[in-house]
Chain A
């Protein structure tokens, strides 16, 4: 019997690439930008409509939660129920949400229904009717949503970090009080819509089995008729968030009896408009952005402290932040945080290996290529760019820029963004157990005990 040598490990194949192909990018007279790309693998169109909301303040948190729901609760001549039926009848779907930068609508429809879905989207975004009964119902639903989020330790931890990184700014994503939700009046919601939801500064992205020029034409006949509005022009965007107080100590949010601690570590960083952003993206990937990253290798695969630790860059239109998260067993909280800080220090002071750099380059490029390969994925990616004041070709330029990042650039980005001294640390957990254990690492401040 002959023993065959094991087959060689195959190579990874050609470097992944991204090509947008034919694209139409026009601005309609009312100020709305329309970007369309043909992708014909399935007989659908994917649409993403974003309205820049202007200088939103923290006090608008309640309106940001209620308005997207009210858009679907009745508009034009249709009740909420009639609108839901009209959407379903043509095999379409519509979702709405808002953040301090944008009001967003995501829709899909069969390719032959593009004109109808654009008509419905126009009514939804431009002509909500705020029916009295529906306002009352949505207020109660949002109140319940707020109660549930307040009880969710993952959300509490994320919000506590954001509050520290964006003090007093809407990017802190404050949870409105139940009382403020219940007080939100129909008039106030309508006024928020009138003042902030306008076609200027807004954008429509369409990706699907359609001719890009036909999209532009269909948009002109629907969203193009949306009047530019007569209210005061909202300022361009939220104000630039001021720098947070320098990071100090560990904030422990007490959650009695918690069997896990939710670690959040983060700092503000440069955003996509900074030329060093591609290097930062690769640094974050090496640090904690993939399964093979240092964070996952250490916390999960070596120590078994946690299931799914990760790190990433949270991008807003006017700011960005590095954030690191790990949900760890209560008894290993301090050891886990020590390992996070050790890995941060290693990133900030020593070079990444050539293999780490090449591997993360391929991974990030591959993920961009794959998310751009579906209609819905590409629509989302392009909407993210356009909403961030970037042009679609940025996507190809970003992939090219990733290819040129060298180890030195990654080191520079790491030293700038990942130094442990610059990090804010939040721990949601049982302070009676973890506060003392954390004290050798840093000053500990406990809230909620």
Chain B
């Protein structure tokens, strides 16, 4: 099937992407703002994520609670999430409710309405989110929150805790909220993506109707967050008082996802070859044959996928294992497997990985909100929404670079190793 990707830019600078699919009765809307926790200044850790919460607290024509009521009352779902380089809001709805969702998103892009009371309420809610996901939970935040970033990066922007400290959250003021909105939530700093049951022409008409009159504002140029690679392996250790068993993560700085695209794509392929599923090389070795670990997986600096972050970023292998004494053997087995990849990977070893990734790509595309979210990232960071449909082909084209990338990037000097020591009763 030929995928249609229809992009345009409104006069106020808002980018619009439409991915129509006549075969479905569902439509999804995603709005990506080009700001994430990398942009938080010192003293404001966690602010980008707190701001995401505040965007649900009411806007020019919608009181607190009305957006959820309208979206869910139409039969739809909604959510939002914050990443190093983006804050994303999305809805998925029955086809006829798209216009309602556009109204809601446009209203809060025009002017959120945040009160002192709503601000304190959401600071309390965010603290409970941090408690449930991090402070009160075994392995909470490991290794993405406080372990790997400070090992792999030097600058505050890249190294700090993106959930934020309670002190910084408590210090957030309405003035900070206004400043953050004015600076980062301008139409020209956003992408609106629509995927599913709508035709491109009516989608564009509706977007123009609701977003077209939002005044244009200048976008401050995005600073470079780049920093040098590591000069040698770095290590850290942290005791988790809730965890009954150890875990370790090895994070590697990786090629620029956009500026060095082919090598980055090869990195994605290599990560799949090594850790994706029970046919992967590290699973086969660490779990099945050597029985050193109960589980091995990969995670990306952009958090949930390889496609949400700009440079600089990282790939980490995360291993859960039964006994702290096994760490060095595990690391050495991982090094062996990386060396084996660097020595050469036949195409026949990558074909099954590509077959698996291709099927997963189709499953992903079948869920319209995931398609809208992914296409929005590609449009915002690369100006190429169409990549959402071309990913499998792109990865196939990078197959010949996998060994080179393993040799050049996956050496100990370019990594941080963090070990979580169990402090919990077992």
Q: Which residues of A are in contact with B by a Cβ distance under 8 Å? A: 4, 6-7, 9-17, 40-44, 72, 80-81, 84-85, 87-93, 108-110, 134, 136-137, 140-141, 144-145, 147-148, 150-154, 257-260, 290-292, 297, 300-308, 327-329, 358-359, 362-363, 365-367, 369-370, 373-377
> How many angstroms from the CA of A41 to the CA of B197 in the assembled complex?
12
Q: Which listed residue (A92, A144, A300, A365) contacts B322, Cβ 8 A?
A: A144
Q: In the assembled complex, which residues on chain B have CB atoms less than 8 Å from the CB atom of A370?
A: 26, 75-77, 92-94
Task: With A327-B136, A366-B76 given, name 5 new contacts (CB 8 A).
Answer: A88-B355, A93-B277, A93-B360, A141-B294, A362-B74
Q: Are A304 and B363 in contact (CB under 8 A)?
A: no
A-B contact pairs, 24 of them (CB 8 A): A12-B97, A16-B75, A17-B25, A43-B362, A84-B284, A88-B356, A93-B359, A108-B363, A109-B359, A110-B359, A134-B288, A148-B138, A151-B425, A260-B131, A292-B68, A301-B65, A303-B124, A306-B125, A307-B129, A308-B129, A328-B128, A329-B127, A369-B26, A370-B77
> How many angstroms from the CA of A301 to the CA of B56 in the assembled complex?
10
Q: Which listed residue (B132, B245, B294, B363) contacts A44, Cβ 8 A?
A: B363
Whether B135 sits at the interface, judged by CB under 8 Å, is yes
Q: Which listed residue (B24, B136, B355) contacts A373, Cβ 8 A?
A: B24
Q: Which listed residue (A41, A302, A365) contacts B21, Cβ 8 A?
A: A41
Q: Tell which of A306, A358, A370 has the most Cβ of chain B within 10 Å.
A: A370
> How many angstroms from the CA of A151 to the CA of B72 in the assembled complex?
35
Bitwise, B102-141 to A at CB < 8 A (1) or not (0) is 1100000000000000001111111111011001111000
Q: Closest 5 CB pairs between A and B?
A: A13-B96, A366-B75, A304-B124, A91-B355, A12-B74
> How many angstroms from the CA of A80 to the CA of B322 in the assembled complex?
22
Query: Given A91-B355, A304-B128, A359-B69: A9 and B103 within 8 A (CB)?
Result: yes
Chain A, Cβ-Cβ closest to B130: A307
> How many angstroms from the CA of A195 to the CA of B163 in the assembled complex?
50
Q: Which of B61-93 touch A at CB < 8 Å?
A: 61, 64-65, 68-70, 72-78, 92-93
Chain A, Cβ-Cβ closest to B96: A13
Q: In the assembled complex, which residues on chain B have CB atoms less than 8 Å from the CB atom of A43?
A: 362
Bitwise, B242-282 to A at CB < 8 A (1) or not (0) is 11110000000000000000000000000000000111000
Q: Which listed residue (B210, B241, B291, B352) contacts A7, Cβ 8 A?
A: B210
What secondary structure prevails in chain A residues at the interface with B?
A: mixed
Chain A, Cβ-Cβ closest to B361: A42
Query: Given A7-B209, A359-B73, A366-B76: A41 and B353 within 8 A (CB)?
Result: no
Q: Which listed residue (B60, B96, B288) contacts A80, Cβ 8 A?
A: B288
Whether B217 sits at the interface, judged by CB under 8 Å, is no
Q: Which listed residue (B103, B132, B136, B245) contacts A10, Cβ 8 A?
A: B103
> How many angstroms from the CA of A12 to the CA of B132 in the assembled complex?
34
Query: Given A12-B74, A301-B64: A148 and B24 within 8 A (CB)?
Result: no
Q: Are A84 and B138 in contact (CB under 8 A)?
A: no
> How many angstroms from the CA of A154 to the CA of B139 in the assembled complex?
13
Q: Are A9 and B100 in contact (CB under 8 A)?
A: yes
Q: In the assembled complex, which residues on chain A have CB atoms less than 8 Å from the CB atom of B205?
A: none
Chain B, Cβ-Cβ closest to A368: B75
> How many angstroms from the CA of A328 to the CA of B70 in the assembled complex?
27
Q: Are A369 and B356 in contact (CB under 8 A)?
A: no
Q: Are A376 and B96 in contact (CB under 8 A)?
A: no
Query: Given A12-B73, A108-B363: A151 and B244 within 8 A (CB)?
Result: yes
Shortest beta-carbon distance, A291 to chain B, in Å? 4
Q: Tell which of B23, B125, B137 has the most Cβ of chain A within 10 Å.
A: B125
Chain B, Cβ-Cβ closest to A258: B136
Q: In the assembled complex, which residues on chain A have CB atoms less than 8 Å from the CB atom of B295?
A: 141
Q: In the assembled complex, which residues on chain B have CB atoms less than 8 Å from the CB atom of A80?
A: 278, 288
Bitwise, B335-375 to A at CB < 8 A (1) or not (0) is 00000000000000001110110111011011110000000
Q: Tell which of B136, B213, B283 has the most Cβ of chain A within 10 Å.
A: B136
> How many angstroms from the CA of A418 to the CA of B284 in the assembled complex?
49
> How many angstroms from the CA of A81 to the CA of B282 in the assembled complex?
12
Q: Which listed residue (A40, A110, A150, A259) contacts B136, Cβ 8 A?
A: A259
Q: In the assembled complex, which residues on chain B have CB atoms less than 8 Å from the CB atom of A297?
A: 65
Q: In the assembled complex, which residues on chain B have CB atoms less than 8 Å from the CB atom of A258?
A: 136
Chain B, Cβ-Cβ closest to A85: B279
